[in-house]
Amino acid sequence: MSGLGGARNLLRHPLRTALSVAGIAVAAAMLLDMVMLSGGIERSFERLLLARGFQYRLSPRGTLPFDTEATIPNVSAVVTMLRRDPAVMAVTPVLGAAIFGRRRGDDSLVTLFGYGFDPSTHALDEMLRGRELAEGDSTGILLGAPAASLLRAEPCDTVTIVGRLDPEAAAPAVERRLVVRGIVRWIYDYRGQPSVGTTLPLMQRLAQVASEDRASLALVKVRDELATPATTARLRRELPGIEVNGVADLVRHFRERLVYFRQLALILGSVSLIVTVLLVTTLLTIGVNERLGEIATMRAIGVSRASVLREVMIEGLVLVVIGGGLGTALGLVTARYLDAILTSFPGLPAAFSFFVPRPRPLALAGMALLVTGALAGLWPAWLASRAPIAETLRAEAT
Amino acid sequence: MSDGIRAPVLDGRNLRKSYHLAEQTVQALRGVSLSVAPGEYVAIVGPSGCGKSTLLQLLGGIDAPTGGTVSVLGTELGQLSDRELTHLRLTRLGFVFQRFHLLPVLTALENIELPMAEAGVARAERRERARALLDYVGLADRAAHRATQLSGGEMQRVAVARALANRPAIILADEPTGELDAATGRELLALFRRLNADGATLVVVTHDERLAAEAGRVVPMLDGMITCS
Amino acid sequence: MLLSLAPTPVRAQRPGVAVERRLAERLGLRVGDTMRLASSPDSAGRLFSVAAIYDPPRDPAALLKRELRLRMHLPDLAALLGAPDRIDRAGVALRPGVSAETAAARINLSAFGYRAAPSREIAAESSQTFAVVSRFHRAIAVITVVASAVFLLCIMLLKVEERRRDAAVMRFIGVRRRTIFGALLLEAAAIAIVGALLGIAIAWAAGALTNLYYQHYFATQVVFSLITPRIVLFGVALSLVLGVGAGALAALRLVRTRPAVLWGRG
């Protein structure tokens, strides 16, 4: 009966209840978004790193992958050593370098980003149309969609790729004519990044690092059960001149860089809960004050304090449940909108997402909202249950 | 006055009550004693502010006296905890108020069910009893109506049915006809008469001379005291 | 540029290097100390003398990179890297009156292997991150304003409804609707202004705490939270508009209701 009364009390003032529910819905939406933002960055980054199952990134000592222009020398020796390791399933060295291409038609130079990699591992790309590079293909190239658009090229077209330019001679230091084998999506590219990819030896020649056999990083895949801190420690011992980054290490570095968003999520999430508390407390306190006479009557006819307390708290919970439900829908819509803004960060992989729904944190947020609603109702409920019966009835009679 | 044979169901002795209003102390009751025997119909009458409603509240355990004692069915209320007092009001006493005080969000039937639900009566049983009580007060056809959809007389009859819900030993009514017109007031008088005839003990605070005339005993009050009883 | 660093106790006449304060603190360096700098962990490198310790400029773009920097003369760096006569970029100062865009276009006509860009263009490109953050903040602000508006409307409605009986009494004794409406509106405006001022005080305190925390966290003097007069004005104006609007809506409902209903006997 108390529950029924509690819920029905909200219908006495429909406009007031609707406004409160709307307020709670917006606060709940903000809370939901902030919960998704707080851990979503890491989850999304981790998912991206493990997109092709490589659990380790090896980069030059003291650097993070592609964070500087530094490269690993004699990378073939490193790869050979790693391939002999029984724990290692696959290794693929990658060279990233700024190169140029001649636009088909007007021959003008456009700046490109070039990947040199082992095509057989499919570590970096996802084929959209055309075909993959064959192993040892020294005349083929893969283009990302933005690069294809810049170069005005399609599969089977021939494009001219230029390595370093020599300003003094006003001529390209290295130039190759390559056949476009396919158009791909580069997994780690930011939106609109004009990237192309060839085999590692060819890219080393274009970037003029072939003699030192350099690569920017190496991706290493080990058996899943062996991707442990012990394996990380062993690889670090075996490769003292190289930075061995596990997924957890990279996520940690990334988290440090995006600490602002985590803290913003924490602050705004807390503010949302405070707003919910204020709304529910205000509404219930005023509602309770308006019906003190009724409450005193209930107490007079023998309704216990606990029942009065329960009824008012149920009112708070019903408000929060309805507001929270609407807020969830609103939060999912606003998360998409906010994600579209944040993923336009320059240099951020296009596949990255800031707002990732995860069941556990969302359940925790829901619980936090419910507990908040219940706690917010506690004060007005306590006031109601403690109202002096005779005094209130006397005041009502006047 | 008790008949001296049967033990009183309600016994107030030397009751005093004072309030603090601003910086003044108001003596609402100045040593009132009143006993009510089982099945008795008592009307407390007197001008406004004479302390009759305060006396009813003390007798019903809604308020605590500044001095004196109240016993209901042999239990002294001053010895009870708040929880025990609440339970006594729920199960042994029935209240009817001047302004009905029905819960507007509940239907007539649900208002009558409320004290039974609080007392832990099973849903089916309380529904059946609530319907029987509505029938008793002549409102069987108004069961599904919200309190706000009922007339003043209907509301007060639902309030009487609510007071009877847990089969109380005593019914206490504070100006039950105060908000009703003459015709509706007459209906309520008839209902009270029927209740008393069915064995209910009634203590009614009233200005209404017709209602007082129906009572078996009239207790006149003035300035916080019973003038003769 | 990656350099490996190693402090060394040897003192001699060396090329000078200016070290960023955070790096100096991390390596325990003081002016006059000698340090070894190398282009890779396995190369011998060269010894340098710490000539100065400096605080980096307040550049928000450098905050998240956490790079530790040092400054040296160009020939010393070129010698250290083994790349004589090679630079990453060069700054060009133009004579007064010459347009940067025209000059850049002229240079680019004959450039090969490099590109000239006006500072404004570079600034716009490098501030892309902040533009995104600003858009994000604006979106959050819109959600906050919506939440505040609903909250304010709700509070005003409650506040005005609290005066039902007062309004009923005023109507009973013949006070005009317009007078009651005006009084309620005035009350709403006063609450909105007081609330806005209180909010600004809380925001100022929160901003001070934010600055304290992040300046410590990033070891920088960059100001993270700044409350400008424009923001204060916007906050007060918005609160006033929302408060008075919400108050007016609620007051209108109240004065349109019959006094008997307001009194609870309707």
Convert the pLDDT of each residue in A152-184 to its tens digit: 999 999 999 988 776 666 667 788 999 999 999
Condensed to tens digits (0 to 9), the pLDDT of residues A63-92 reads 788 777 778 888 899 999 999 888 889 999
Q: Are residues A302 and A386 in the same domain?
A: yes
* Separation of alpha carbons A252 and A232, rounded Å: 15
pLDDT value at position A153? 93
Name the minimum distance, in Å, from the CA of A7 to any CA of chain B.
9
User: Is B210 part of a structural domain of the chain?
Assistant: yes
User: Is A184 part of a structural domain of the chain?
Assistant: yes
Q: Which residues are bridge partners to A246 per DSSP? A: A56
Closest CA to A103 of A145, A161, A165, A142: A161
Instruction: Return the amino acid letter for A388.
Output: P
- Residue A193's domain comprises 56-226
Q: Are residues A205 and A88 in the same domain?
A: yes
Q: Are residues A218 and A355 in the same domain?
A: no
Joined together, the tokens standing for residue C100 give 């940067």
Structurally, chain B folds into a number of domains equal to: 1
pLDDT-derived band at A232, boundaries 50, 70, 90 = confident
- Residue B186's domain comprises 10-226
Q: Are residues A340 and A205 in the same domain?
A: no
Q: At what angle do helices A259-290 and A292-300 cross, to 10 degrees?
A: 70
Closest CA to A253 of C216, C21, C64, C24: C64
* Separation of alpha carbons A67 and A310, rounded Å: 58
Do A372 and A31 meet the contact criterion of CB atoms below 8 Å apart? no
User: Is A215 part of a structural domain of the chain?
Assistant: yes
User: Is A244 part of a structural domain of the chain?
Assistant: no
Q: Are residues A86 and A172 in the same domain?
A: yes
User: Is B201 part of a structural domain of the chain?
Assistant: yes
User: Is B27 part of a structural domain of the chain?
Assistant: yes
Low-confidence ranges of chain C (pLDDT < 70): 1-13, 41-42, 58-66, 113, 264-266
Of the candidate ranges B146-155, B199-208, C127-136, the one whose mean pLDDT is the lowest: C127-136
User: Is A250 part of a structural domain of the chain?
Assistant: no
Name the minimum distance, in Å, from the CA of C261 to any CA of chain A.
14
Residue of A nearest to C131 (CA): A345
CB contact under 8 A, A394 and B162: no
Q: Are residues A137 and A178 in the same domain?
A: yes
Count of beta carbons in the 10 Å neighbourhood of residue B183: 8
Joined together, the tokens standing for residue A391 give 């005094």
Those residues of chain B whose CB sits closer than 8 Å to some CB in chain A are 53-54, 57, 60, 62-63, 82-83, 86-91, 93-95, 97-99, 101, 103-106, 110, 113-115, 117-119, 162-163, 166
* Separation of alpha carbons A303 and A291, rounded Å: 15
Say if strands A88-102 and B10-21 run parallel, antiparallel, or are unpaired.
unpaired
Q: Are residues A68 and A194 in the same domain?
A: yes
Say if strands B75-76 and B24-36 run parallel, antiparallel, or are unpaired.
unpaired
Over residues A195-209, the mean pLDDT reads 90
Buried b / exposed e along B54-70 (16+ C-beta atoms within 10 A): bbbbbbbbbbebeebbb
pLDDT value at position C60? 66
Count of beta carbons in the 10 Å neighbourhood of residue A115: 24
Residue in B89, B98, B110 nearest the CB of A300: B89
pLDDT-derived band at B229, boundaries 50, 70, 90 = low
Do C154 and A20 meet the contact criterion of CB atoms below 8 Å apart? yes
Those residues of chain C whose CB sits closer than 8 Å to some CB in chain A are 1-2, 4, 40-42, 64-66, 111-114, 128-129, 132, 135-136, 139-140, 143-144, 146-147, 150-151, 153-155, 157-158, 161-162, 217, 253
Joined together, the tokens standing for residue A197 give 């990819």
Over residues A209-218, the mean pLDDT reads 84
* Separation of alpha carbons A385 and A299, rounded Å: 8
Q: Are residues A308 and A345 in the same domain?
A: yes
Do A110 and A159 meet the contact criterion of CB atoms below 8 Å apart? no
Within 13 Å of residue A202, how many CA atoms lie on the same side as its CB?
Answer: 25
User: Is B154 part of a structural domain of the chain?
Assistant: yes
Segments making up each domain of chain C, as ranges: 4-81, 153-263
Residues of C in contact with A268 (CB under 8 A): 140
User: Is A66 part of a structural domain of the chain?
Assistant: yes
B49 Cβ contact partners less than 8 Å away, ≥ 6 residues apart: none
**In this complex, which chains have at least 3 CB pairs below 8 Å with chain A?**
B, C
User: Is B1 part of a structural domain of the chain?
Assistant: no
Residue of C nearest to A20 (CA): C154
Over residues A323-333, the mean pLDDT reads 91
Q: Are residues A175 and A292 in the same domain?
A: no
Count of CB contacts below 8 A, A vs B? Answer: 84
Structurally, chain A folds into a number of domains equal to: 2
Q: Which of A13-22, A208-217, C69-78 has the highest mean pLDDT?
A: C69-78
B105 Cβ contact partners less than 8 Å away, ≥ 6 residues apart: A5, A8, A9, A11, A12, B146
- What pTM does this model have? 0.74
pLDDT value at position A398? 62
* Separation of alpha carbons C69 and C22, rounded Å: 9
Of the candidate ranges A221-230, A333-342, C199-208, the one whose mean pLDDT is the lowest: A221-230
Do A189 and A343 meet the contact criterion of CB atoms below 8 Å apart? no
Q: What is the mean pLDDT of chain B?
A: 88
Joined together, the tokens standing for residue A330 give 């609103």
Closest CA to C191 of C163, C167, C166, C215: C163
Instruction: Return the amino acid letter for A225.
Output: E
Q: What is the DSSP string of chain C?
A: ---EEEEE----S--EEEEEHHHHHHHT--TT-EEEEESSTTS--EEEEEEEEEPPP--HHHHTT----EEE-HHHHHHHHT-TT--S----PPPTT--HHHHHHHHHHH-SS-----HHHHHHHHTHHHHHHHHHHHHHHHHHHHHHHHHHHHHHHHHHHTTHHHHHHHHHTT--HHHHHHHHHHHHHHHHHHHHHHHHHHHHHHHHHHHHHHHHHTT---------HHHHHHHHHHHHHHHHHHHHHHHHHHHHS-HHHHHT--
Do B169 and B61 meet the contact criterion of CB atoms below 8 Å apart? no
Q: Are residues A83 and A23 in the same domain?
A: no
* Separation of alpha carbons A215 and C100, rounded Å: 38
Look up the CATH number of the domain holding residue B78.
3.40.50.300
pLDDT value at position B65? 94
pLDDT value at position B54? 92
Dihedral of CA atoms A255, A260, A262, A265 in degrees, nearest 10, equals -160
Closest CA to C156 of C189, C111, C199, C120: C189
Q: Are residues A326 and A375 in the same domain?
A: yes
ipTM comes to 0.85
